[in-house]
Structure 1
Amino acid sequence: MDPVTHAVSGAVAMLAMPNRPATRWAVPLAALAAASPDIDVIFAVDPLRVLQLHRGITHSLAAMPALGLLLTLCFCPLWRAGMPGRWSFCRVWAFACAMLGLHIWLDVVTTYGTMLFLPFSHERVRLNALFIVDLLFVVPLILAIWRGRTRRVCMVAAALWLFAYPAMNIALNARHAAVTEARLLSAGRAVSHVTILPDAFAPFFWRAIFLEQAPEASSRGKEVCEQSLDMFGQPRSPEIRHPAFPDAAIDALSRQSVFCREFFAFTLLPVVSPLPPAQRPQNALPGMNYSVVYDVRFGTGLKVVRSLLQMRHDGEHPFRLMLAITPDSGEAIAPYAVRLERLYFSGSNKDSGWQIPTVPQTSSVWRRLVGLR
């Protein structure tokens, strides 16, 4: 979720409280607390650190009590003696933890994926309920603060909206998934990994992605199919098919490269296409298979939104892994030996440049505690 929505959610939560400290800092500090887990972007200085740290340890349930305590120590205007209506230290700590939990909730309901269970697991949790910037979600919150901040009933309603709107979309997602699976099954298609994603302006627009074996006449193996859906979960455009990145290649390359291990752990259904010559290294080696891998999860089925993404992200897909794999068999990527690699995240303007892969090593205890493998 974007930082504005996080900050607004914290302000709504404070304004909805039955009583709060009589300081002008109360609402700004609540907004800061709700946005604070995204401080991890300061340390995400390159694409690899983005994958390892963003929505990592600062978004984990295990770190919440300690981070809440740190925020409480910084928020002394809310609990210091002499402040009218001041809260106790423990109450400020509980509120700070609640704001961290609210941040985590709003991230979990998007499609990006949040590592809730660090340092015990790097599994990314995503509920696929909200687009990364959802105007239908945040605009009512802003209007509530602007027009109704002095009326507690308005702020309580806005606080309920923080949970009711995502919950409604979670239910719609489950329904659309069942409808899509039934439709594909009735057509006699053997598909797997059917996933429903919110598009811009969900709940009115959605996307379905799934894995399917390519037609027998094709040598592409499995394909990732995507299709735009309407508010009833029915197709509103033809399917778009992409060659899926082979599972065997994912396993092999993840053992050879830290970049590959982290990128494939981040992706949902990675697809592959030839890398344009202009994006290859200047001294491109002969006999290499140059490919770009990306995740269609971050696309859109709406033409207007697609045009905006292409202008902003230098292409529709903001997270890309570029690979030089040898030898070039002329067919599928085999035998999955990576020689050069490059991570390029256009949305955050992070580019690793072409590098020789680093083989994954066993991390120290301290690195594992902060989510680094």
Structure 2
Amino acid sequence: MCLDQAWANFGSPGALDFNSHNIVQEAATKYIPKKKKTKKARWLSVETLEVAQERRKAKRNIDRERYAQFQRLARRDKELFLNKQCMEVEEDNRIGRTRDLFQKIRNIGDKFQAKMSMIKNKDGKDLTGAENAKYPEIKKLMGPDPRLKWVVTLMVVTQMVASYLVKDLPWKWVFFWAYAFGGCINHSMTLAIHDISHNVAFGHRTTRWNRLFGMFANLPVGVPYATSFKKYHVDHHRFLAGDGLDVDVPTAFEGHFFCSPGRKLLWLVLQPVFYVLRPLCVNPKPFSAMEVLNIGVQLAYDLLVYWLCGAKAVIYMVAGSVLAMGLHPLSGHFIAEHYMYAQGYDTASYYGPLNWITFNVGYHMEHHDFPSIPGSRLPQVKKIAPEYYENLPFHNSWVRVLWDFVFKEALGPFARVKRKYKAL
């Protein structure tokens, strides 16, 4: 009888458990405050977060002193964090540790793309974001090109054979073949080095192999170039046309002095000289160990060629590089890429036949949109997303580009955009 009375008062065992659960839940809700989810910036210390909690209470009580204290501490923490990150970025850049460099930049800004322009969909989302991509197949084009290392190796071997064949020719024929044949290969090789600098030979996980392979590709050029190019080319993508940062932009002296047709023609001839000297004047950087290695390997190779084939073979290599990067049809890409042939456009593509022997460097708008895509796959970007490129200005002839550069008054070394960038 007593047991029946108890069931009548408290209900069944299931109901008893349910009532107990409700009692515990009500007590927890009443006496245990619910912790609010808050966003925490990376640079905020525990001390600053505690002050932030007090600030929230202070804002309700209009305690301006506590509010100001939080602002001071937050600025201090952010400055310390950014200074530390910038020092690490500079060190990684100095020693050529590219993967760590870009990772730290991503950590600073939460989201980072190593380019000035990106294709966006109709909602303004970047096509490079996989989750928002209108063309997800573009992401599949990124990654290493397994054929690149074999093409570069064949080019190096070809130049080795050519260096041997010219050793007994008269000097006039040495320079002729250096301009007409060796120069074309060497100029094409510098563009292969450009591709390699984006880690498309072996992938981003093996950056050291890419740097070493760049030194191998550098051999027939005759002048150590690959590692230093990589160091400055990173800035070209991060700070396109940045004043004092992008050494691809001519100096004020070049713009003012080389302004007549004759002087602009001379400037084209001297382009290799300016590409060597400009970084030392505009944005000098300390030498890295990889650059020293690049110089040592190149000098050893040049001495070996001199010992085996004589001076003409060495002159053939170096003269080919200098001549083909000066007044040469292939050097038209230097001008076509970023000079303002169309008002308001400081990057343009070239869709002519010389892309076949220059690793598609003419697809330059596509390259700046997607630097991780190898040159061999850049034409597919335009095919996949034609509506983003077909209405942009482009070139069909690098020879015409050079002609217009020399003889059109509106063009010259000054016909470049300059941008101001804030420090990291």
Shared fold (TM-score, shorter chain, > 0.5): no
* TM-score normalised by the chain length of structure 1: 0.24
* TM-score normalised by the chain length of structure 2: 0.22
Relative contact order: is structure 1 or structure 2 higher (C-alpha 8 Å, sep ≥ 6)?
2
The structure with the greater share of residues assigned to helix is 2
The structure with the greater share of residues assigned to strand is 1
Structure with larger Rg: 2
